[in-house]
């Protein structure tokens, strides 16, 4: 493996100079490795011959060496931030290097934190170690959870100072996605009346990522809006089902491919609180956990407005957006049902789920631990000696192991009453099989998610030059459904100090 064997392509650059500025990354002084994703390297064919251990890779992925075939650029976009039109934004600290072939097509490789661009505005073009580690870990964790997301190949760090609330140090994340095009790219060309560019961008996205939109009857751009809405609905359902809060759902942070992108003040819920606000800067709670699906719709509406110049009639946009209102709740109910061990969706399921969520909210039950224990309550009964010797027990799952779930509630009788309803629903499934259902639940409800305090501990160690805790956490997050002996601490309740962690937009 050497430089010359990499074949870089540049589809986005083919759109022309209205879409970006070509520039060089700013070198990062004395770079060192912070983290690498072997899984991502393998998908890009970068794992052979120790390439990801080479100085060449270290220099390339910290922005110090532009490899032959790379064509670095920063793209221009605009967007709505916290509900207000923010005008031109753009890649203020991200630099696209080009694409490398991936298993399902070309993948864009982007350096985040690689220096100033024409779109840096007041920023310094840099990213700090703390937020770079969080983005790196979460990208790979989300992928392992099966949630559409940009990926991360590696993080490099440097002693170079970066000034935020305190002096911190610089880092660069190498991000990977089929495309980093955002809703904000479309808004940019619509709001600046560059309709030829708007059309070119929409055609680019359709041709490369949504080719079926071309073949359908009617306006292809309305079809694109509907397809983006459908993907966004699925992603949002997955966020809600796993307890993920994005934190900054501005339209410039919304992927046209429905990917989770731009990891900032995100958080996985600890104690369940539907109104949880993870971003310390979000004083109004616009991006609270339970508002995310509606905010996604608001953002899709902004995308629809941006696409209006390409439609024959505004009604087409409204019709394209309409399905989101039923797709999102349906996708969410399907996923919540799967978390409960249900193999299909029936009429009473929404109420059953809502009643549970109310109990969990009232008692601030730990979100991840609840679902994992519930899964075990079904799975373990089928492997217990009692179950094996007395087959009748199989039909009566979850009597004894449910204690561990019950213990999570303060108002246990209320939980018991709910559990009776749940058990009835579970057992009424034709051919119910506790072992198979439990195994499915254990593959649906993760054992470990990237809780704030886990990231924080990895960051503290990395600041001291110890990257082993980060690597251990990364390894566990890459297998979130597995019980990993020796790593039980990563699946435990958060410590009290976790509540004091404040994550803001500062990154
Ligand atoms: P975000 O909401 O964090 O995704 O960023 C919003 C906008 O601010 C984007 O255009 C970013 O590129 C830009 N930005 C954020 N931080 C910096 C920075 N340190 N330097 C330059 N631009 C930045
Ligand atoms: Mg952003």
**Who surrounds ion ligand 2 at CB < 5 A?**
253, 262
pLDDT value for 224: 98
User: What are the backbone angles phi and psi of residue 186, rounded to the nearest 5°?
Assistant: -70, -40
Q: Which residues contact 410 (CB under 8 A, 6 or more apart)?
A: 362, 363
Confidence grade of residue 49 (pLDDT, cut at 50, 70, 90): confident
- 397, pLDDT greater than 60: no
Q: What is the pLDDT of residues 275-324, one digit of tens each?
A: 999 999 999 999 999 999 999 999 999 999 999 999 999 999 999 999 99
Interval 457-496: pLDDT, tens = 999 999 999 999 999 999 999 999 999 999 999 999 999 9
- Closest C-alpha to ligand 1, atom 8: 92
CA of 118 to the centre of ligand 1 (A): 12
Q: Which segments within 239-294 are labelled E, that is strand?
A: 244-245, 267-268
Average confidence score pLDDT of the chain: 95
Compute how many other C-beta atoms are within 10 angstroms of the C-beta atom of residue 104.
8
Ligand number nearest CA of 255 is: 2
Find the angle CA(93)-CA(94)-CA(100) to the nearest 5 degrees: 160
Which residues have C-beta within 8 Å of that of residue 133, sequence separation ≥ 6? Answer: 34, 35, 155, 171, 455, 458, 459, 462, 470
Q: What is the pLDDT of residues 331-351, one digit of tens each?
A: 999 999 999 999 999 999 999
- Tell me the CA–centroid distance for residue 306 and ligand 2, in Å: 18
By alpha-carbon position, which residue is closest to atom 22 of ligand 1? 92
Query: Between 381 and 278, where is the model more confident?
Result: 278
Q: Does pLDDT of 500 surpass 50?
A: yes
Nearest ligand 1 atom to the CA of 250 is: 2
pLDDT at position 390 is 42
Phi and psi angles of residue 285, each rounded to the nearest 5 degrees, phi first:
70, 25
- Token output for 139: 């990208």
> Which ligand 1 atom minimizes the distance to the CA of 77?
10
Q: Quote the ligand 1 centre to 384 CA distance (angstroms).
A: 53
Ligand nearest to the CA of 127: 1
Nearest atom in ligand 1 to the alpha carbon of residue 127 is: 19
Please check the confidence at residue 180 and state whether its pLDDT lies above 80.
Answer: yes
Contacts of 441 (CB under 8 A, 6+ apart): 338, 339, 340, 341, 371, 374, 375, 378, 379
Given a cut of 90, is residue 86 above it in pLDDT? yes
Query: Whose CA is closest to 58, among 78, 28, 14?
Result: 28
Are the CB atoms for 165 and 239 separated by under 8 Å? no
Under 8 Å CB-to-CB from 238, ≥6 apart: which residues? 145, 146, 147, 148, 244, 335
pLDDT at 4: 67
Please answer whether residues 176 and 109 qualify as being in contact, where contact means their C-beta atoms are separated by less than 8 angstroms: yes
Least confident range from 44-48, 192-196, 255-259, 470-474: namely 44-48
Please tell me the number of the ligand nearest to residue 126's CA: 1
In the predicted structure, residue 399 carries a pLDDT above the cut 60: no
Give the CA radius of gyration of the chain: 24
- Which residue is it, tokens 């990231």? 455
Q: What is the pLDDT of residue 314?
A: 97
The DSSP code for 283 is T
Specify the ligand 1 atom closest to the Cα of 91. 12
Q: How many CA atoms lie within 13 A of 505 on its CB side?
A: 11
SS3 245: strand
Q: Which of 91, 252, 270, 366 is catalytic?
A: 252
* Ligand 1 pocket test, candidate residues 112, 114, 123, 181, most atoms within 8 A of CB: 123
pLDDT at residue 419 tops 50: yes
Instruction: Give the mean pLDDT of 117-134.
Output: 98
Ligand 1 neighbours by CB, cut-off 6 Å: 89-93, 119-120, 123-126, 248, 250, 253, 262, 264
The pTM of this model reads 0.96
Pocket test for ligand 1, best of 120, 251, 262 (most atoms within 8 A of CB): 120
How far is the first Cα of the chain from the last one, in angstroms, to the nearest whole number?
34
Average pLDDT of the segment spanning 36-59:
94
User: Do 367 and 243 meet the contact criterion of CB atoms below 8 Å apart?
Assistant: yes
In order of 34, 127, 159, 179, the CA distances from 60 in angstroms are 14, 17, 17, 20
243-244-247 Cα angle (round to 5): 135
* pLDDT value of position 401: 75
217 noted as active-site residue: no
Over 330-392, what HEC string results?
HHHHHHHHHHHCCCCCCCCHHHHHHHHHHHHHHCCCEHHHHHHHHHHHHHHHHCCHHHHHCHH
- Please name the residue that has the structure tokens 């007041």: 122
pLDDT at 46 over 80: yes
- Could you tell me what percent of the chain has a pLDDT over 90? 92
Question: Structural domain boundaries of the chain?
Answer: 3-177, 183-334, 342-442, 452-490
Average pLDDT over residues 159-170: 98
Query: Is it the case that residue 388 has pLDDT exceeding 50?
Result: no
Given a cut of 50, is residue 395 above it in pLDDT? no
Above 60 in pLDDT, residue 111?
Answer: yes
- Give the range among 32-41, 42-51, 354-363 with minimum mean pLDDT: 42-51
Token digits of residue 26: 């700013």
Exposed / middle / buried, residue 203 (Cβ in 10 Å: 0-12, 13-18, 19+)? middle
Residue 407 in this model has a pLDDT that exceeds 90 = yes
Q: How far apart (Å, rounded) are the C-alpha atoms in residues 74 and 97?
A: 9
**Of 83, 84, 92, best ligand 1 pocket probe by most atoms within 8 Å of the beta carbon:** 92
The 8 Å CB, 24+ separation contacts for 10-15 are: 10/71, 10/98, 10/99, 11/99, 11/106, 11/204, 11/208, 12/73, 12/75, 12/96, 12/108, 12/179, 12/181, 12/204, 13/71, 13/73, 13/98, 15/197, 15/200, 15/201, 15/204
Evaluate whether 134 touches 263 at the Cβ level (below 8 Å). Answer: yes
Q: Please state the rounded mean pLDDT for residues 402-418.
A: 97
DSSP letter for each residue of 299-330? HHHHHHHHHGGGSS-HHHHHHHHTTHHHHHHH
């Amino acid at each position: 493996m050497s430089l010359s064997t990499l074949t870089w392509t540049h589809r986005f650059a083919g759109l022309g100079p209205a879409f970006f500025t070509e520039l060089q990354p700013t070198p990062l002084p004395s770079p060192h490795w912070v983290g690498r994703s072997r899984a991502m390297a393998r998908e890009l064919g970068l794992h052979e011959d120790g390439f990801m251990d080479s100085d060449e890779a270290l220099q390339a992925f910290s922005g110090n060496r532009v490899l032959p075939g790379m064509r670095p650029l920063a793209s221009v976009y605009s967007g709505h931030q916290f509900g207000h039109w923010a005008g031109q934004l753009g890649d203020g600290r991200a630099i696209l290097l080009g694409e490398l072939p991936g298993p399902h097509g070309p993948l864009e490789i982007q350096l985040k934190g690689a220096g100033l661009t024409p779109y840096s505005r007041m920023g310094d073009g840099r990213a700090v170690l703390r937020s770079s580690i969080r983005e790196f870990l979460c990208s790979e964790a989300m992928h392992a959870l099966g949630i559409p997301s940009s990926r991360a190949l590696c993080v490099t760090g440097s002693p170079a100072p970066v000034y935020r609330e305190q002096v911190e140090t610089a880092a660069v994340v190498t991000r990977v996605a089929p495309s980093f095009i955002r809703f904000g790219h479309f808004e940019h060309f619509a709001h600046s009346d560059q309709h030829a560019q708007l059309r070119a961008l929409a055609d680019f996205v359709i041709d490369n990522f949504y080719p079926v939109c071309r073949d359908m009857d009617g306006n292809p751009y309305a079809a694109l809006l509907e397809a983006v809405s459908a993907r966004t609905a699925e992603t949002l359902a997955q966020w809600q089902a796993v307890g993920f809060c994005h934190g900054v759902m501005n339209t410039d942070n919304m992927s046209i491919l429905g990917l989770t992108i731009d990891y900032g003040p995100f958080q996985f819920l600890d104690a369940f609180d539907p109104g949880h606000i993870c971003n310390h800067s979000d004083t109004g709670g616009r991006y609270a956990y339970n508002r995310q699906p509606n905010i996604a719709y608001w953002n899709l509406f902004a995308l629809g407005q941006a696409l209006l110049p390409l439609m024959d009639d505004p009604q087409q946009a409204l019709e394209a957006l309409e399905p989101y209102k039923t797709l999102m709740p349906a996708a969410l109910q399907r996923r919540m049902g799967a978390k409960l061990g249900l193999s299909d969706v029936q009429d009473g399921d929404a109420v059953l789920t809502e009643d549970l969520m109310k109990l969990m909210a009232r008692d601030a039950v730990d979100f991840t631990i609840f679902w994992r224990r519930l899964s075990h309550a079904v799975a373990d009964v089928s492997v217990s000696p009692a179950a094996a010797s007395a087959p009748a027990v199989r039909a009566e799952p979850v009597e004894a192991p449910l204690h561990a779930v019950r213990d999570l509630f303060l108002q246990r009788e209320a939980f018991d009453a709910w559990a009776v309803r749940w058990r009835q629903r579970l057992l009424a499934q034709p051919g119910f099989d506790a072992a198979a259902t439990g195994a499915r639940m254990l593959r649906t409800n993760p054992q470990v998610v990237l809780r704030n305090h886990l990231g924080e501990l990895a960051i503290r160690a990395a600041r001291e030059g110890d990257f082993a805790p980060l690597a251990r956490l990364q390894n566990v997050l890459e297998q979130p459904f597995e019980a990993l002996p020796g790593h039980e601490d990563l699946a435990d309740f958060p410590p009290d100090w976790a509540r004091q962690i404040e994550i803001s937009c500062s990154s």
